[in-house]
Structure 1
Amino acid sequence: MTDLDARRLRVLHTVALRGGVTAAAASLHVSPSAVSQQLAQLEREAGCDLVERVGRGICLTPAGQALAVHAEQVLHALDRAGAAVAAARTGVAGTVRVGTFATAGAFVAPAVARARRRHPALDLRVTEGEDESTLLDLRLTLLDVVVMQEYDHVPVTLPSGLTARPVADDPLYVVTPATGPLSGRVRLRDLRDAPWIAPAPATPGGRVTRQACRDAGFEPEIRHTAIDVALVLDLVAAGLGVALVPALVLRHGVPAGVRTGPTWDPPLKRTISAVVRTAGGGPQRPAVAAFLAELAAAGAAAAGAAGSYAAGS
């Protein structure tokens, strides 16, 4: 067996986590044929079959699965080595790749801007994505920081090798038509007979709405399905249903005809965290540490402002 190329190990690891060549190619921003060629070369280096065809797709052989596990360890070791070198240099420089969900832009964007002003040699790049996808890219070392959301009643278990650092709490609010019969503080169980508006079940917002209602003792009637915040609020304003949204969603205001109120009995919130690869006793890259410091400050300010607005709307 010849020496194994770290770049090809990354390709194998990506195929293992993403579940196929096409998905791995999209994650690596290359063509599927390029991924297949890298796998074939890695098989020659390893001296054995690492993948096998199953129908129209492929799966890893036992040898491929074993090598993929070690590939993750190799990639993370290289990442820690790079962090040690960066920590030994003077100044904050380099590229930090950040994955985030859309509404966290309220504080991710200011944090990026402030970090760049403080450290001109720092190159920060933001990619929007769903938590599950961006966390995979963090494990693949394609991202350096992932801004993730976790709801009290829908906990998230992180894979080993990742560490979450809380950035801000974002309370959940009920949005109802202003012309409806309910006023003042509304408990979720008071809305058991209302039509609901929620994202699809597989999305974080969809899981949260359904689970919160179940915890309140009823199965919500999801009359309308929408993930776009503007559409949700427009449907509520038209009197077509009620919805459950985080305070940050309301930071730009709500249309006429929409009333908001905090959840209570019990109060609900989501925790927004910055997830990084566990340092494993080594230093963290100064570039990542600089961005995390700005993110913590911006997150607390944005979440507080959004909550104050929603409470007074």
Structure 2
Amino acid sequence: MELDARRLRVLHTVAVRGGVTAAADTLCVSPSAVSQQLSLLEREAGCDLVERVGRGVALTPAGRALASAAEEVLHALDRAEAALAAARKGIGGTVRVSAFPSAARALVAPAVARTLRRHPDLDVRVGEGEDGQGLADLRLAAVDVVIAQEYDHVPVDFPTGLVRHALIRDPLHLCVPASGPLAGASSLEDLRDARWMAAAPGTPCGDSTRQACHDAGFSPDVRHSVMDFALALDLVAEGLGVALIPGLGLRDLPEGVVTAPTAHARTIYALTREPGVGPVRPAVAAFLGELLGRQPSAARGSAGRARAENEA
């Protein structure tokens, strides 16, 4: 039995993404192409790897076992590519980065610019994405670095096989209208009867707001579902509600908004695949060096503490 590594990647992608259509989107091919590759892999394996469930497919026990083994094979290939890259002269190639918007603006964009000035043969590509999508892409080797967040009061169970590099600690701030009955509010308890705006449940920022209010003894009356921090601040400025926003989201604070610090914060990480016994690709290491080396001045001290905690 000889298994094709490219087809193993297809099976692994189906396992991580949870279906043929989602896997096809990740691999930039048609669903029929994914199904064809799975059929060929089943012939090579000599057993059924997927079974139809409703309108979709699920992995059989043999499929799940092979997908788990495929991840180890793909990591080995990743390490082999890193070893070859380390043996070449100079630093080149492509580094693919996924980041959520506020970190992309404040942390990633300046780091990319510094990296390209220092290593002009590098090609660093940035894609905007939420944490869950980015982490799945990282496991699939569709990206090389993911910028993700973890709120102190909403712990995250990060997937195994990934390395976290702590970047900064980003405190959360109450944002209230500068005039009106809520203008003097300085604590969550002062805002239990206020109208709130927050991202949807299941998102890091949305869960953070709801958990912080729950810890303060109330459930927030979320009137506006807002992902974009700039939009949330504009709504606050118009007196339409209050919000809990991280410091990186306050770069363009509009008139009419007053902020107050809270005891809550998030840690922002750069995540990479675990290198195992092989070296990290020089291109990825070069970008990480710039990303870890310089942070916004307001967060620089806390960034050092976060890195120390990560390395301890």
Write out per-residue CA displacement over residues 281-313 of structure 1, whole angstroms, 9 at most, x where no aligned residue: 3211111110001111343447459xxxxxxxx
- Partners of 2:248 and 2:213 lie apart in 1 by 21
Give the partner amino acid of 1:280.
G
Q: Deviations over 1:143-194 (max 9, x none)?
A: 1110111111111121111110101111111110111334567111111111
How many residues are matched?
300
1:74 is aligned to: 73
Asked if structure 1 preserves the Cα contact closer than 8 Å seen for 2:48 and 2:62, the reply is yes
Asked if the contact 1:199–1:205 (Cα under 8 Å) also holds between the matched residues in 2, the reply is yes
Deviation, 1:229, is: 2.2
Structure-1 residue corresponding to 2:39: 40
Partner residue, 1:111: 111
Q: Which residue of 2 aligns with 1:6?
A: 5
The offset of 1:126, in angstroms, is 1.0
Which residue pairs with 1:83 in the alignment? 82
% identical equivalent positions: 66
Give CA-to-partner distance per residue, 1:16-52, whole Å, 9 cap, x none. Answer: 0111000111111111111111111111111111111
Alpha carbons of 1:177 and 1:154: their partners in 2 closer, same or farther (altered >3 Å)? same
Partner amino acid, structure 2, of 1:65? R
Does the 8 Å contact 2:99/2:130 carry over to 1?
yes
**1:301 and 1:186 mapped to 2: Cα distance?**
25
CA RMSD of aligned residues (A): 1.6
Preserved contact between residue 168 and residue 296 of structure 1 (Cα < 8 Å): no
| 1:66-105 deviation digits (Å, cap 9, x = unpaired) | 0000000000011011111212222211111111111112
Counterpart-to-counterpart distance in 2, 1:103 and 1:30? 31
Q: State how far apart, in whole Å, the 1-side matches of 2:80 and 2:293 are.
A: 28
3-state SS of the aligned residue for 1:48? Answer: coil
287, 294, 299: which is aligned to 1:291? 287
Structure 2 distance, partners of 1:12, 1:281, is 25
SS at the partner of 1:299?
A: coil
TM-score (norm 1): 0.92
Cα separation, partners in 2 of 1:302 and 1:37, compared to 1, 3 Å:
farther
Of 253, 269, 274, which aligns to 1:273?
269
- The residue aligned with 1:308 is none
Distance 1:300 1:167 in 2: 10
Residue 162 (1) aligns with residue 162 (2): yes
Give the residue type in structure 2 aligned to 1:171.
P
Give 1:110 deviation, angstroms.
Answer: 1.0
2:82–2:280 Cα contact (<8 Å) kept? yes
SS at match of 1:33: helix
Give unmatched runs, 5+ long, in structure 1: 306-313
The amino acid of 2:249's aligned partner reads V
Tell me which residue corresponds to 1:235. 235
Taking structure 2 as the reference length, the TM-score comes to: 0.92
Partner amino acid, structure 2, of 1:294:
E
Q: Compute the displacement of 1:258 (Å).
A: 1.1
- What letter is aligned with 2:147? V
User: Structure 1: how far apart are the matches of 2:295 and 2:48?
Assistant: 48
Q: Decide whether the 8 Å contact of 1:8 with 1:42 is kept in 2.
A: yes
Contact 1:247–1:303 (8 Å) recurs in 2: no
Contact 2:149/2:267, CA 8 A, preserved across alignment? yes
Aligned residue identity for 2:143: L
- Structure 1 residues 176 and 205: CA distance shift in structure 2, 3 A: same
SS in structure 2 opposite 1:268? strand
1:202: which partner in 2? 202
